Structure 1
């Protein structure tokens, strides 16, 4: 159980709520934002003293699943936030200590069988582990990069971005950065002893004020991205359907970018496929 992170997360969720959100009268003016600790305890059907110890990271024992469920209901947590709560409390299914970077051979073969779809495999820490030629042409030639530079979190926060030329030309660069923070917070809860994950988070917090600001929000609810638009200097604007498939056995994601058959974007992807990875050189 990560007592300190659990306490910080509980406090952040409590402070975002107003009394009227949970059916309580607002009452006199409050000196601090959010619900009071005793109000959360009453709603969760636990003692105020125990809830305070949880929030302050002083609980002697791991809370039970029943207690966590009551707290989740009291704080109006989403499914993703509730799962994150269980991960921090140590009651979620155990994973290995380190996140995996080896990609299944069948997934590698699948990538090569998708000539009209840009695809890549991403680790829990946003490292691009495998990709096909179209993904390299659409984004960049990952093979030419040092493995450390294939990390999309580093690319999003540490590589200077211009307003007229954001990360890979994507239209939702700001939302993608928020997505990175949300997912890394969840990854850190799953792999608190993995130096690759903890080191990445520390590096980004120290080097990026934007990352540090978003990190303090303690958000873990990931938004669903259905489409994404790239502005590629070689072929122009490409709007693609975005599908992210969880490879649960290795805690990885297979990300696929495709376009409806016969659409201008599909034609642009086909042109990129012909140009090959040399198209990525237009970005540099």
Structure 2
């Protein structure tokens, strides 16, 4: 891995992108051309410290996931993406599992939905993108280990799942979708490990798995029990991204409702972390 060349390449790509290119305000005290390091890190869903180390030629070899995030954040062309991978000594390999890279147009869509909480789920039910209101409603996904971003793991094994009113129904439907995903990606080690963990750790999941069902009814409305603003009832709509086997999940509230006022408050107060005690009764294994 050529750390110095990688650092120079990242810095050069960062400085050529304006905040407007990625939907960010320019501000009045911007002393460097292009994006700030923390802005690139946020867009790539990595820590600012880690990205800074890469630009200072002090970072470890980036993973395929990090390189995909940098490709997206820096708006790299296919040629530039391939060059980035060569500098990191991480040649591109065909994916054999659920896609985790989110198309730039979908990320732009999430940022343009200030009145909706929106997330993107992989075929394995992992949260792979989100907007600010989703963070305020649920939690800061960027601060979580990858394992804890998986909704089906949390539904059956914990920790809490945001006080959802339909956690039992969600757990059931997610188990069915996971079986269908396992059939589509039989060679994916991460998916196999997730299923093994769920079967070993949850009798309820093991029971559902043995039924071999693959059809689940959609849930169109649910309630989050937020520790600051209280219950928030949302309409839930799912948009399929068929070419990447992903889902955009949109949570919206009825105009004039108490939940709409709660959404307004959440957009002001930002992230409020819940604790497991807030959601003790909601685990699907009980």
SS at match of 1:249: coil
Q: Which residue of 1 aligns with 2:253?
A: 259
**Equivalent residue for 2:98?**
99
The structure that has the greater radius of gyration is 1
Aligned mate of 1:280, from 250, 260, 273 = 273
- In the TM superposition, residue 97 of structure 1 has moved relative to its aligned partner by 3.1
Partner residue in 2 for 1:241? 235
TM-score if structure 2 supplies the norm length? 0.61
TM-score (norm 1): 0.62
Match of 1:225 among 195, 219, 230: 219
**Per the alignment, in what secondary structure is the counterpart of residue 156 of structure 2?**
helix
Equivalent residue of 1:220, what SS?
coil
**Aligned counterpart, 1:77:** none
> Counterparts of 1:11-30 in structure 2 under 5 Å?
none
The residue number in structure 1 matching 2:27 is none
Any stretches of 5+ residues in structure 1 without a counterpart? 1-94, 162-166
Structure 1 SS opposite 2:136: helix
Q: What is the aligned length?
A: 184
Alpha carbons of structure 1 residues 160 and 120: separation in structure 2 relative to 1, 3 Å: closer
Confirm or deny: 8 A CA contact 2:110 2:118 kept in the other structure: yes
Question: Which consecutive residues of structure 2, in runs of 5 or more, have no partner in the other structure?
Answer: 1-93, 279-286
Task: Provide the rounded CA distance (Å) in 2 between the counterparts of 1:103 and 1:189.
Answer: 22
- Describe the superposition over 1:121-142 as per-residue Cα deviations: whole angstroms up to 9, x where unpaired: 0000011000011111111111
Q: Does the Cα contact within 8 Å between 1:245 and 1:254 map onto a contact in 2?
A: yes
Q: How far off is 1:160 after superposition?
A: 5.3
- Aligned equivalents of 2:159 and 2:129: distance in 1? 24
Match of 2:183 among 166, 176, 189: 189
Q: CA deviation at 1:281?
A: 4.6
SS at match of 1:110: helix
Mapped contact 2:226–2:274 kept (Cα < 8 A)? no
Contact 1:138 1:280 in 2 (8 A): no
| Maintained 8 Å contact 1:227/1:239 | yes
Give the superposition deviation at 1:280: 2.8
What secondary structure, in the 3-state scheme, does the structure 2 residue paired with 1:211 have?
helix
Residue 204 of structure 1 pairs with residue 198 of structure 2 = yes
**What residue in structure 2 maps to residue 112 of structure 1?**
111
The equivalences for 1:28-43 within 5 A come to: none
- Deviation string 1:142-198 (CA, Å, 9 cap, x unpaired) is 11101221111111111155xxxxx21111111111011100000001111111211
Distance 1:179 1:100 in 2: 20
Cα distance between partner residues in 2 of 1:132 and 1:276: 11
The change in CA–CA distance for 1:168 and 1:248 in structure 2 (over 3 A counts) is same
* 1:202 to partner: Cα distance: 1.1
SS in 1 for 2:108: helix
Separation of aligned partners in 2, 1:181 and 1:125 = 10
SS in structure 2 of the partner of residue 168 of structure 1: coil
More moved, 139-148 vs 120-129: 139-148
Q: What do you get for the CA RMSD once the two structures are aligned?
A: 1.7
- The secondary structure found in structure 2 opposite 1:169 is coil
SS at match of 1:245: strand
